[in-house]
Chains A and B, each alone.
Chain A
Amino acid sequence: MVLKMLLIIAFDELKTDYKNPIDQCNTLNPTVEKVKKIKRVKIALKLVLPEYLIHFFFCVMFFCAAEWLTLCLNLPLLAYHVWRYMSRPVMSCPGLYDPTTIMNADILAYCQKEGWCKLAFYLLSFFYYLYGYVFIFTP
C-alpha cells in the first residue's frame, strides 16, 4: 500500500511534468521555445507509456486485492487508455503523439485538457487511496 502511495505521488509528479511541456509549447515565446519543443514532445512520448503501464498495473493489483469498487472506478480510464493507444497515429515506435500534428491547435488543446482531467482524477484517487490506507491501519 505504501508503495502504491509513493508510486502515485511519483506518478502525479510525472503527470504534471508531462503537462508542462505542452503547456509551455503553447505559450507564445518565440525564439527560445521552439528549439525545445521537439524535445518536449519526445519527453511526452516517453511519459505516456509508463503512465498507461502503471495505471494498468494498479488495476491488476486492485483486481487481485478484490477491491471491486476501486477497480470499477478505474476501469473507464483503463478502457480509455486502451482505446487511445489503439487509435494512435501510425508510428513505428511506441508513443502517442505525432510531432507533425501536435501543433494543431485542436489536438494540442485536446491533449492539454486530457492532461488536466487525468491529473484531477489521479489526485482524487490518490486521496481516496490515502483514506483507504489510513482507514486500514488505524485500529
Chain B
Amino acid sequence: MGPDPHPGLGRASQHPDWKLPSRRSDAVRAARSSLTSSRGPLLPHVRRGVPAFGGQRRSCVSTAPGIRGNRGRQDREMSAPGSTNPSSSGSYSQSSTPNGGAAPPRQNGPAQTYPSMYASTGYYGPPPHQQSYPTIPAHSTSVPNKTSITNSAQSANYYENNHQQQHHVAPAPYNTPCTSASPSQPYSAPPPSNTQYSQQPFQQQQQHPPYATPGSYYGQQPYHGVPTTVQHPQQQQNPSLVPAPAVGPGAPLYPIVSYPSVPGSGQYGTLSPSQSTSTPGVMPIQMSAPLHQYNSSQPTSTPPVHPGYGGAPPSQMVPTVNGQGTTAQTTAHQHYDPSHQAPQSYDSYGRVTHSTGGPAADRPPSGTPSTSVHSSPGHHQGMQYGYVANSGTSAASATTSGPAAAPSSSSSDDDEEDEDEDEEAGGETSSSTTGSASPLPNSYDSLEGGSYPDSMPPSNDMTNQAQSYSSYGYHTMQPAYRQGPASRSDSSPSHDLYGQPSYQQYSQPFPDLSQLSAALGGLSGVPELEVEALRPVNLLQERNLLPPRPLEAPEPNLSADLRKVNCSPQTFRCTLTSVPQTQALLNKARLPLGLLLHPFRDLQQLPVITSNTIVRCRSCRTYINPFVTFLDQRRWKCNLCYRVNDVPDEFMYNPVTRSYGEPHKRPEVQNATVEFIASSDYMLRPPQPAVYLFVLDVSHNAVEAGYLKYLCDSILENLDKLPGDTRTRIGFLTFDSTIHFYNLQEGLSQPQMLVVSDIDDVFIPSHDSLMVNLKESKELVKDLLTSLPAMFSQSRETHSALGPALQAAFKLMSPTGGRVTVFLTQLPTLGAGMLQSREDPNQRSSSKGVQHLGPATDFYKKLALDCSGQQIGVDLFLLSSQYADLTSLACMSKYSAGSIFYYPSFHHLHNPAQLEKFQRDLGRYLTRKIGFEAVMRIRCTKGLSIHTFHGNFFVRSTDLLSLANVNPDSAFAVQMSIEDSLADSSLACFQAALLYTSNKGKRRIRVHTLCLPVVNQLSDVYAGADVQAITCLLANMAIDRSISSSLSDARDALVNAVVDLVSAYKSNVSSLQQSGLVVPASMRLFPLYILALLKQRALRTGTSTRLDERVFAMCEFKTQPLQQLMRMVHPDLYRLDNMSDQGALHLNDTVVPQPPLLHLSAERVSRDGAFLMDCGNVFYLWIGKCCNEMFIRDVLGCPNYASIPPNMNHIPELETPLSERVRAFLDWLQDNRAFSSTIHVVRDDASAKSTFFLHLVEDRTDSASSYSEFLQHIQQQMSK
C-alpha cells in the first residue's frame, strides 16, 4: 500500500488506540513514578487547582467591598422601615404559608419529571429517590424548614445563623407572636418556634426515610430538642441586642449577616455576641481567623461562607431568599415547579442541616489542627477545615446545644461525617472556582414573568424563615434581606452548598462504586472514592461486573456547585471526565478523548432568554456561561480563551429579579443549557417557514409492500401536529419511472397530478402551486392523502427513478429550504443516481471482510451537499425487502443532516412487527421538533482542538457543522486532541452552540456548556473514564475505519484498544503485579462492551448479515444518542417472573419494580423463568419452557406455555397485579425514549429465539468467541 492512505489513523498523537503496530511503546515507557500511589496525586492537584481560583478572586476583592458597603447601607435603610412595622408579621406569615401550600404542587410537578433528573444527574441510584418523591409533596416544605431550623438551632455555626439566632432568640421573649404565626404555617406546630422546628424534622424522618439516613436526622433532632431549652438563654441574652437592631442598630447587623464577605472581624465582632455569650473565648477567635482568610483569598463575600459551612450557607441564603420570597412568594414557587432540581435542593437542605450539625459538633478536635492549617494563607483545604472547625466550635460554643448535638451527631455514621467533610471541602473549592452557581431555575420563561430565577431551594428556606420571622415579629428584617440578596450574588454560593448535600444523600443509599465515586466529587475529599474507581479489577477472576442498575454517567470530579450547574450528561458527555493535561498523558492512558453530544434533545425544562445583546467573548465568540469568572461587576473572563470582556449594560439588569447590578444571577450564568432568541444578526436571510416535502415511491414494489396507506393515514392523523406555524408549507411528489407532481393550489376542487416523464432533464411544471400553504390548502391535502393509496394500486411500473425525483425535490425546495422525506422500497434503477446490486448473498457470512461499504456513486453525496447548501435536509425511509444499496443511498441523508430509517423485509401483511414499528416511528417522526437552517459550533478551551466529527452533517469548518435540519433524535460524536498543554487551567470547558430556526420561524441559539477538571495524573484520568462514552466513541471510530480501510482492520483496532488499555494500566498505574487482566474499576466493563461491539451487526463477521442491515447499523451508531446506543450494544437483561418489590420505585401511584441487571449469558437464563431483554429499539420477552404458569397466565393472558402465539407483539392489559407490575416496568423503560420500542414475546422453542440468543454477547457463537475466550485472547495479545 505504500504510504498509508489513512495515516491519521496510525498516528499515535491523534488517537492512540488505533495505532496498531507500536501500540505499547508509550505505555511501557510510562512513568513508573506514578506508581508511587494513586492517592498521592490527588491532593496536590486539588490544591493546585484551588489557589488559581483564589487568585482570580483576589482581584475581585478590592472592588467588592465598596459595593458591599453601599448595599449594606441600603439594607439598613430598607430594614429600618420594615422593622417598625409590626403588623407586617401577620402578612408575612401568610405569604409564607402559601409557599408551604405551594410546595406540594411543585413537588408534584417535578415528581413526574424526576426520571429525567436522574438520568441527567446520573448519580443517584434511581430507585430510592423516586420512591421518596411521591411522598415529598407534603414534606418538601418541611425539609427546607428543617434546614433553616437546624441552622437556627445550630446558630452557633454561623454568622449567618446569628441572624437566625437572633431572630429565634428574639422570638423567645415574644412567645405570643410565634404562636399566632405558627397556625398559619402548614405544619401547625406547637407555638414555640423551636418546638416547631424540631417537630418538622421528625415528620420528615418518619415519612420519607429514603431522603436521608436516619442518623443524620437524629443528629438534628437532639439539637432541636435541646435548643428549645438551651437557646432561650442565648436568645434572652440576645434580645437585648436584637430588639435594638430591629429598630435602628439592628439594621447594621443584618447587612453583615447577609454579606459574610464583609470585613469579617468587624462583623463577627458584632455578631459574636450571641455566640460569645455562650462560649466567649473560643468562638470569636476562631471565627475571626477564618474570616480574614476568606476575605483575603476570596473577594466575594458569599463564596467563602458556604465552603466552610456546608450547612451554614443555607441559612444565609434563607434570609436573602426570604426577603425575596416573602414578597414574591408566589412567583418564587412558580419556578420551583418547572425546575427539576428543586427537589434535590430540598433534600440537600435536609442534609445540609445535619452536615453542619453532625460534623460540626464532632469536629471541634479536628478544628484546631485545621485552623492551624488554614492559617497558611493559600490553601482552601485549610480553609475548609478551619471553617468546619469553626462551625464545630461554634456549635460547641453554643454550649447548650453543643453537648447535646455532639452525641447525637456522633450517633450518625462516621462515614457519613467523612463524606460530609468531603463534600464540604468540595463546596469550598467549588465556591472558590466560580461564585456563580445556582440551582437551575429551569423555566426562564416563567421566570421572566417575574419570579426569581436564582433560588429554588432558597425559596423554601425563605418560606420557613419568613414564617419564623413573621412569627417573631421581625418582619422588619425582611426588607433588608431582600435587598441584600437581590443586590448580591451571595445567594448563589449558598445554593452550591445545597447541591452538595443532596448528592451525598443520594449516593449513600446506593453504594455502587461508580456512583459513589461520581457522587463524592469534592476535590479534597475524594481520594478514597477515586481509589474505588481505580480499584484494580482482575477480569479473569471477577465475573459479576455489572452493576445492579443500568450504568450512569460518571460525574466529573468537580466541586459540587460546578457539578450542579454542569450540563446534563444526556446532552453532553465526555469520554474522560477528567481531561488529561497533555497529549502525552492522553497517549499514555490509551483512551480516546471525545465528546458525545445530543444537542437538540427534547428537554423538559429549558431557560429561554430574550435579550437584545447576547453576551459573548469578543475574541472567541463563546457565549457567556456558568463557568466564566466575573472579575468584578463589569468584567468577566472567558473560560475558553481567558480573555477579559466587559459586561454590557443590558446584562447588568436582571429581568428575572428586576434588579440591577448582578450579572452573575442572569439565567445565562446560572444554567449550562440555555436557549437564546437570536436577533437579526444571526440571520443570513429571513427565517424560513417550515417546509415539508414528501417524496413517495409508488412503483409496483411499493404497492406490493403496502406502505402507502399507512403512511397517508399517519400523515393525515398528524397533519395538525406537524411542527410549524401559519406559514407551514407542504408538498407531495411521487415517482416510479416518471415523476408525479401534485398541484394543491388553493381553490382547486381536487388535487391535480402533473406527470413529468423526462427524467433525464427534470423540470418543475409549476412553481408556486406545488408547495402549498398547509393551512390554506388543508382540504386538498387531505383529499390527496385519502386518494393516494388507491391511485397507484394498479401500478405495474417496476422501475424507480429516485435520482431524478430527488433532483426535482431539490429544485422545488431550493428557494426555501426545509425537509424532504423520501420513502423508497427498492433499488433506484432509472436515471441519474441509478444503482446496481452489489451484494453477493454468498458473501454475507464470510469472515474475510465485507466489500462495498463505500458508496457506489457520489451522486447522492453531491446531491446532499447541494441540499445542505440550500438548507434542505433529506430523510430516508427505506422499506426494501431486497438489497437497495443503502451504502450509497445513505449519503443523501448523511451529508444533509437527515435521518435514516430502515425496515428490512417490510410488508404490511407478512411482517406486522415492522409495520407496527413503521407506524410508531412515523408518529414520532412527523410530530417531533425540528430546527431548520442550523449550524452547530463546538468550542473548547484553548489547547484542545477538534479532531473528527461523527454523525450526519456537513463539516464546514474545523469546528462548525452545517445542519440543514436538526432533529431531537440525532446525536453527534466528536474526537478531540490536545494540542497544547492545559496546565494553566484546572478546568476544561466545551461549548456547543446550535443556531437554528424553530418551526415557528424564530431564530434560536441553544447553548450547552460542559465543564471538566484537568488532571495531570494517569490514575485520575482512569478514575474519570466514562466507559460507555468511550465505547460509543470507539464504535464511531471503528466504523470510519471499516469504511476507509476494512472491517477486519476496524475489529483489530477495537481489540487493540482493550489490549492497550490493559497494558497501559498495568505498566503505569497498577502497583500490584498481578497476573491476569487488571483494569481500573471504572473501566471494568470495557472488554465486555468491546466484545459486544464486535458482535454487533455493524461490525460482526462470520454471522450472516445483509449488507444493508450492516450499513444501517453503522448509520445508527453514528447518529443514535449514547443511551440508546448502549442498549443496542449491550442490552439490558432482566428477569421478570420473580420480581420483588425490593428497591421498587413508586411513581404516581404505580409501583415500578426494579429487577437487577443480569449478565448477557445463557447461564443466567433459566428455563423456568421469563426474561426481558431491552435492546433499545426492541424488547424481547423470552419465555422459558418451564416458565411459571401463573406468569404466563397473568401477564400474557395465555392459559399455558403451549398456547402462546408465535408472533406475539404486545403485552395484554390484564388486571392482575403481576401484569400491572410488568407493564409498569415496561412503561418505565420506555420513558424518555424518543421512539417507542416494540416488544416481541419469544418462546423458547420458537425460531425467533435465535435472535434473542444472538444478543447474549457473553456467550460463544459459531463465529465469535465468548467473553472468557475474548479475555484470554487479550491476554495472549498482551504477552506478545
Chain A residues in the interface with B (C-beta under 8 A): 25-26, 28, 30, 33-34, 37-38, 79-80, 83, 87, 89-92, 98-100, 103-110, 113
Contacts and interface: CB of A to CB of B under 8 A. Distances in A.
A98 B954 CA distance: 11
A107 to B, nearest CB: 7
B1204 interface: no
A37 B957 contact: yes
A91 B8 contact: no
A86 to B, nearest CB: 11
A105 B583 CA distance: 15
Contact of A106 (B855, B945, B948): B948
Contacts of A106: 6-9, 11, 14, 947-948
Given A80-B3, A107-B8, A90 B956 contact: no
A100 B862 CA distance: 10
A90 to B, nearest CB: 5
Interface of B: 2-3, 5-9, 11, 14, 621, 854-859, 861-862, 865, 894-895, 937, 945-949, 954-960, 975, 977
A98 B854 CA distance: 13
A100 B957 contact: no
A105 B957 contact: no
Nearest to A36: B957
Given A105-B947, A109-B8, 17 more contacts: A28-B959, A30-B957, A37-B956, A37-B957, A38-B956, A80-B2, A89-B854, A92-B857, A92-B859, A92-B862, A99-B954, A100-B955, A104-B947, A105-B948, A105-B975, A106-B11, A109-B14
Contacts of B7: 106, 110, 113
Most buried by A among B855, B947, B955, B957: B957
B946 A105 contact: yes
Contacts of B857: 90, 92
B948 A25 contact: no
9 interchain residue pairs of minimum CB distance: A106-B8, A103-B955, A34-B957, A105-B947, A91-B858, A34-B956, A110-B7, A104-B948, A90-B858
Contacts of A99: 865, 954
A115 to B, nearest CB: 14
Given A80-B3, A90-B854, A90-B858, A103 B8 contact: no
Contact of A100 (B859, B895, B975): B895
Contacts of B895: 100
Contacts of A109: 8, 14
Contacts of B956: 34, 37-38, 103
A34 B960 contact: yes
B1130 to A, nearest CB: 28
Contacts of B5: 87
A113 B14 CA distance: 15
Contacts of A79: 2
Contact of B958 (A100, A105, A110): A105
A107 B959 CA distance: 15
Nearest to B939: A30
A92 B858 CA distance: 6
Contacts of A108: 958
Contacts of B946: 105
A91 B857 CA distance: 6
A105 B9 CA distance: 10
Contacts of A107: 6, 8
A85 to B, nearest CB: 12
Nearest to B13: A109
Nearest to B894: A100
Nearest to B937: A30
A100 B861 contact: yes
27 contacts: A25-B958, A30-B937, A30-B957, A30-B960, A37-B956, A37-B957, A89-B854, A90-B854, A90-B856, A90-B857, A90-B858, A91-B858, A91-B862, A92-B859, A103-B949, A103-B958, A104-B8, A104-B947, A105-B14, A105-B958, A105-B975, A105-B977, A106-B7, A106-B9, A108-B958, A110-B7, A113-B7
Most buried by B among A26, A30, A103: A103
A91 B891 CA distance: 12
Nearest to B954: A100
Nearest to A27: B958
A110 B8 contact: yes
B726 to A, nearest CB: 32
Nearest to B620: A30
A37 B956 CA distance: 7
A27 to B, nearest CB: 9
Contacts of A89: 854, 858
Nearest to A91: B858
Nearest to B832: A92
Contacts of B861: 91, 98, 100
Contacts of A103: 949, 955-958
Contacts of B6: 106-107, 110
Contacts of A33: 957
A103 B949 CA distance: 9
B1270 to A, nearest CB: 29
A11 to B, nearest CB: 22
A107 B947 CA distance: 10
B501 to A, nearest CB: 42
A30 B854 contact: no
A81 to B, nearest CB: 11
Contacts of B9: 106
B63 to A, nearest CB: 32
Contacts of B854: 89-90
A30 B5 CA distance: 29
B614 to A, nearest CB: 15
Nearest to A107: B8
Given A90-B856, A92-B859, A105-B14, A28 B865 contact: no
Nearest to A110: B7
A108 B948 CA distance: 10
Contacts of A90: 854-858
Contact of A83 (B2, B948, B955, B960): B2
A34 B960 CA distance: 8
A69 to B, nearest CB: 22
A113 B11 CA distance: 13
Nearest to A106: B8
A34 B947 CA distance: 17
A21 to B, nearest CB: 13
Contacts of B954: 99-100
Nearest to A28: B958
Contacts of A28: 958-959
A110 to B, nearest CB: 5
Contacts of A26: 958
Contacts of A34: 956-957, 960
Nearest to A100: B895
A113 B4 CA distance: 13
Nearest to B858: A91
A104 B865 CA distance: 16
Contacts of A80: 2-3
A33 B6 CA distance: 26
A98 B14 CA distance: 21
Most buried by B among A34, A91, A113: A34
A105 B948 CA distance: 6
A91 B960 CA distance: 24
Nearest to B895: A100
Contacts of B859: 92
Contact of B8 (A25, A83, A105): A105
Most buried by A among B858, B959, B975: B858
B381 to A, nearest CB: 38
A33 B956 CA distance: 9
A25 B858 contact: no
Contacts of B959: 28, 30
A9 B947 CA distance: 35
Nearest to A76: B2
A101 to B, nearest CB: 8
A37 to B, nearest CB: 6
Most buried by B among A89, A105, A113: A105
